[in-house]
């Protein structure tokens, strides 16, 4: 019974933790300037240089406005690789020009400011940087940073921006990678006129990604534009999710093997303890098949009770951690390598719960067949001779 309870608990609870981890990875990936879908100029994905920007996005914007449902949020961005420097340090970063009000609705940055303020639409020289970058540079709000990147004339453009706000992100790497200015400021510095690098879309329901992407592909000329879903934009996360689906099945089997030995052992012990009883029942006329049925029925109830307790325990554990999560800050640098958040919140998927219970129930009954057949095979004389 204990083996079944622990087995079911570990399958559901640890499965929920891992699901929580992957969900956070996807959520972080999507909110860290990916979105559910992105529209780029053809070739930008393979070579994200300024030459592959959308020089006149009006046609795309007009098509999006006509095609997309009104509750779907989206925003344009300028995104180029750049160098940031101050008197002490220099670092490679991603320089992002955003529409502050639209961007706040689709990515993490709108709610991530911990010092200073968020960008305003008319901020000409304001910049928002990550906490980790600011600490590394030994700078703070109100101070200046110099951004350098290649402009559309293939010349080095540079401009000083004053830090208006400092943001925190789920991952330290994000804080070091991105700096944000207004779209107009970025376009002016890079001489892009109305040009943008990408349009990022966030859907009300993530399940509709493929449908919406397909409808966009059908209306946007494929010669000029590419439409990519988050699965294509985040190949590492996608690969991890695929591996995870296989891994969780292997995990279930491994747990079950350990638990299966417990079930066989318990049932065999129960059979051997009652061997005289089985002998007597056979002597009185109970057929072997009925003895198999009796042992299997006992296993059935053992499994059902174990599963009920195991499910209750695992849901209780998930509930207990649903608010606080598990804080992995101590291992942040290691876990961030895999894109895992600092705090993991368990996520229960009904598919995993049903799968775990099915594995335990079906395989549990199957492994009980061996002790059941053993009980049925004793001759009454052998069994009654046992003391």
Provide the binding-site residues for other proteins, judged by CB under 8 A: 277, 280, 282-290, 379-381, 384
Task: Please identify, using beta-carbon distances, which residue of 289 and 351 lies nearer to other proteins.
Answer: 289
Min CB(278)–other proteins separation in Å: 11
Task: Please identify, using beta-carbon distances, which residue of 116 and 380 lies nearer to other proteins.
Answer: 380
Min CB(279)–other proteins separation in Å: 9
Task: Please identify, using beta-carbon distances, which residue of 63 and 280 lies nearer to other proteins.
Answer: 280
Provide φ and ψ at 287, rounded to 5°. -75, 150
Min CB(286)–other proteins separation in Å: 6
Min CB(375)–other proteins separation in Å: 13
Task: Please identify, using beta-carbon distances, which residue of 277 and 298 lies nearer to other proteins.
Answer: 277
Work out the end-to-end distance of the chain between its first and last CA atoms, rounded to an integer number of angstroms. Answer: 26
Task: Please identify, using beta-carbon distances, which residue of 69 and 285 lies nearer to other proteins.
Answer: 285
Q: Residue 144 in contact with residue 134, Cβ under 8 Å?
A: no
Min CB(386)–other proteins separation in Å: 12
Q: Residue 299 in contact with residue 365, Cβ under 8 Å?
A: yes
**Exposure letters 69-100 (e unless 16+ CB within 10 A, then b):** eeebbbbbbbbbebebbbeeeeeebbbbbbbb
Which residues, in sequence order, are CB contacts of 361 under 8 Å at separation 6+? 303, 304, 307
How many C-beta neighbours within 10 Å does residue 236 have? Answer: 11
């Amino acid at each position: 019974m204990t083996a079944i309870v622990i087995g079911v608990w570990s399958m559901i609870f640890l499965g929920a933790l891992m699901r929580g981890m992957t969900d956070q990875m996807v959520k972080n990936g999507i909110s860290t300037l990916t979105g559910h879908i992105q529209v780029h100029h053809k070739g930008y994905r393979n070579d994200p240089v300024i030459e592959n920007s959308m020089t006149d996005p009006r046609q795309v914007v007009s098509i999006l406005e006509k095609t997309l449902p009104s509750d779907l949020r989206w925003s344009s961005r300028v995104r180029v690789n750049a160098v940031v420097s101050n008197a002490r340090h220099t670092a490679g970063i991603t320089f992002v020009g955003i529409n502050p009000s639209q961007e706040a609705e689709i990515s993490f940055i709108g709610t991530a400011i911990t010092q200073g303020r968020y960008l305003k639409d008319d901020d000409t020289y304001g910049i928002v940087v990550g906490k980790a970058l600011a600490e590394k540079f030994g700078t703070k709000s109100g101070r200046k940073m110099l951004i350098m990147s290649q402009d559309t004339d293939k010349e080095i453009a540079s401009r000083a921006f004053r830090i208006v706000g400092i943001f925190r992100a789920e991952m330290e790497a994000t804080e070091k990678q991105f700096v944000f200015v207004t779209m107009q400021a970025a376009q002016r510095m890079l001489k892009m006129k109305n040009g943008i690098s990408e349009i990022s879309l966030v859907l009300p329901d993530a399940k509709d990604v493929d449908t919406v992407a397909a409808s966009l592909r059908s209306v946007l000329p494929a010669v000029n534009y590419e439409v990519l879903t988050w699965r294509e934009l985040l190949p590492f996360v996608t690969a991890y999710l695929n591996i995870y689906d296989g891994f969780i099945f292997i995990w279930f089997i491994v747990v079950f093997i350990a638990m299966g030995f417990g079930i066989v052992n318990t049932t065999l012990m129960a059979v051997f303890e009652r061997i005289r009883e089985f002998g007597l029942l056979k002597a009185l006329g109970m057929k072997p098949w009925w003895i198999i049925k009796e042992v299997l029925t006992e296993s059935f109830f053992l499994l059902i009770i174990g599963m009920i307790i195991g499910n209750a325990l695992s849901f209780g554990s998930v509930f207990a951690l649903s608010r606080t999560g598990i804080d992995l800050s101590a291992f942040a640098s290691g876990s961030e390598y895999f894109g895992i958040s600092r705090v993991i919140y368990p996520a229960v998927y009904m598919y995993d719960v049903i799968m775990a219970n099915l594995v335990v129930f079906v395989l549990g009954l199957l492994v009980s067949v061996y002790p059941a057949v053993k009980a049925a095979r004793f001759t009454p004389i052998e069994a009654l001779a046992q003391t």
